[in-house]
Amino acid sequence: MSDSATIPAPANLFKPSEIIGILRNHLATGQVSQKVVCLRGIYFKGTYINQYFHTASDRLVDESTSDELTLNMPLNLRDDLENGNVLTVHGILDRNITNKGLIQVVLKVTDVEKIKELAVSEDEVKRTELRRIKSEKGYKNVDSILETLLYQNKRPNVALVYAETSITNEDFEKGVQAARTHIDFTEYRESFAKTKAFCQRLKQLDAMDFDVIAIVRGGGAGLEALDEIELLETLVNMNTAWMYGAGHEGEKLFIQNIADKAIAIPHALGTYFRDLTDGVIQKRNNSRAALVKEVEGQFKKQIEDSNKKNQELTKQLEALQKQNKEQTEASNKKIEELTKAQKEHEKVVKEMTEQHKKATEEANKLHKAQNETLQKANVALQEQLKTQGKTLNDLQEQQKKQQGEFNKSLGQMQETNKGLQASVSKMTNELMAAKQRVTELEGQKPNNTGYIVVIFVLIILAALGFIM
């Protein structure tokens, strides 16, 4: 009922896995006798096989009691063994802690000696196997189931299964007394001797909304029917918690070994419900004052915490209001600035739109005028090109005619030149002969040499001028 938030976490808080690890390390480091021991008991094969170590987890059950020991059995030693064999096994004791926090004593078997082929009947072997299955599935805590419901002021729903002709209910009623004011009991009648019908009834009840199912019967003849294998299998596989309250004081049946809770006699079963109910009511009444005080303390603390939190929230609210005011003012200022900027932007856009419209109109006019001018220029150009083409043709014809006349004149000049060259060559030869003659004359008449030279030069010059 206390507020978990007000309870400080202890410094030595562990997880289940951590505790299991601590115990496992402790067991591993503790002193373990390595002495070989010899044990005798009834052998039963297990289902778990360790393929890595080639071992199996089997069981050795005490011949006199239901106590059993786990055997770490090598696979090569179990080949010739059967369930129910009485064995003498040799091995070394070891300890192991499971992930469920269970400390398990294990015998690591080193040798096996078979004493008896079969110490128990086949039914006894099956019953032993059913007890193992029940242990693996787990026994339901009937006390906790009923007490929890009663503490919550809820009415447990209990099914009472009586023998068909039994008067056991009278003994039960004597014991239960006022428990009926807090527990809902529903009675059913069934023949315990008709195992199949009895099993079918139990399966029906298991599928119903009962918190607990109780098998109630007095002692006497026919009680051994409760140890039928079919009935035991049905009970082991039930999901609903069930109780055994049958027989007389001192009567022992195997069914008690697989019951979630076993009560010796019907009267004691009724007394159990009465005492449990009275105990819960008394505890609930005794704890009411403490509960009220605890609740008052919690309520007072909650009020103090609430006031403290309220003050803190008030401060936070004031700070948030101040912050919100500042943010609002800043937002309003920002909105005004944005509004002004938007108006200016709209004005600029309008002006630019008008300017663009005007410029577009002017551009269209200019484009139109330019097109007209270009068209006129193009027409004039076409006419000019046409005229120039005609002129070009005339020039080409004239050039062709002039080229022919030039070629003709050039041929004539070449012929004239050829004749001139021949004349020059002839005159050159005559000049050389004249020079030679002059030389000869100079040698004969020295005083007339200059005149003769002048005369020859003049002749030559005259000849050259003629040629040119």
SS3 labels along the chain: CCCHHHCCCCCCCCCHHHHHHHHHHHHHHCCCCCCEEEEEEEEECCCCEECCCCEEEEEEECCCCCCEEEEEEEHHHCCCCCCCCEEEEEEEEEEEECCCCCEEEEEEEEEEEEEECCCCCHHHHHHHHHHHHHHHHCCCCHHHHHHHHHHCCCCCEEEEEEECCCCHHHHHHHHHHHHHHCCEEEEEEECCCCHHHHHHHHHHHHCCCCCEEEEEECCCCCHHHHHCHHHHHHHHCCCCEEEEEECCCCCCCCHHHHCCEEECCHHHHHHHHHHHHHHHHHHHHHHHHHHHHHHHHHHHHHHHHHHHHHHHHHHHHHHHHHHHHHHHHHHHHHHHHHHHHHHHHHHHHHHHHHHHHHHHHHHHHHHHHHHHHHHHHHHHHHHHHHHHHHHHHHHHHHHHHHHHHHHHHHHHHHHHHHHHHHHHHHHHHHHHHHHHHHHHHHHHCCCCHHHHHHHHHHHHHHHHHHHC
Domain boundaries, the chain: 15-120, 142-264, 423-467
pLDDT of residue 250: 61
Maximum Cα interatomic distance, the chain, rounded to a whole number of Å = 205
- Residue 215 to residues 175, 199, 200, 438, Cα–Cα distance (Å): 16, 12, 14, 183
One-letter amino acid at 428 equals: T
pLDDT of residue 4: 43
* Residue 448 phi, psi (nearest 5): -105, 10
Contact 192, 225 (CB under 8 A): yes
Interaxial angle between packed helices 168-176 and 266-444, expressed in degrees from 0 to 180 and rounded to the nearest 10: 80
310 Cβ contact list (under 8 Å, min separation 6): none
**Residue recorded with tokens 């009962």:** 210
pLDDT of residue 203: 95
pLDDT of residue 5: 45
Two structure tokens written together for 10: 């202890």
As averages over each run of 10 residues, the pLDDT of the chain (468 residues) reads 48 59 63 71 86 89 76 89 86 77 81 78 79 87 93 91 75 77 91 92 94 84 83 94 79 85 84 89 74 70 81 83 85 85 85 85 85 84 82 81 82 80 79 78 61 66 60
Which of 247, 221, 220, 242 lies closest to 231 in space, CA to CA?
242
pLDDT of residue 146: 93
pLDDT of residue 391: 80
CATH topology of domain 142-264: Rossmann fold (3.40.50)
Two structure tokens written together for 201: 């009834």
Helix H, strand E, coil C: the string for 10-51 is CCCCCCHHHHHHHHHHHHHHCCCCCCEEEEEEEEECCCCEEC
pLDDT of residue 207: 95
pLDDT of residue 368: 86
Contact 186, 160 (CB under 8 A): yes
pLDDT of residue 27: 60
Contact 57, 72 (CB under 8 A): yes
How does strand 103-116 pair with strand 241-246?
unpaired
Sign of CA dihedral 33, 36, 37, 43: positive
Contact 35, 56 (CB under 8 A): no
CATH topology of domain 15-120: OB fold (Dihydrolipoamide Acetyltransferase, E2P) (2.40.50)
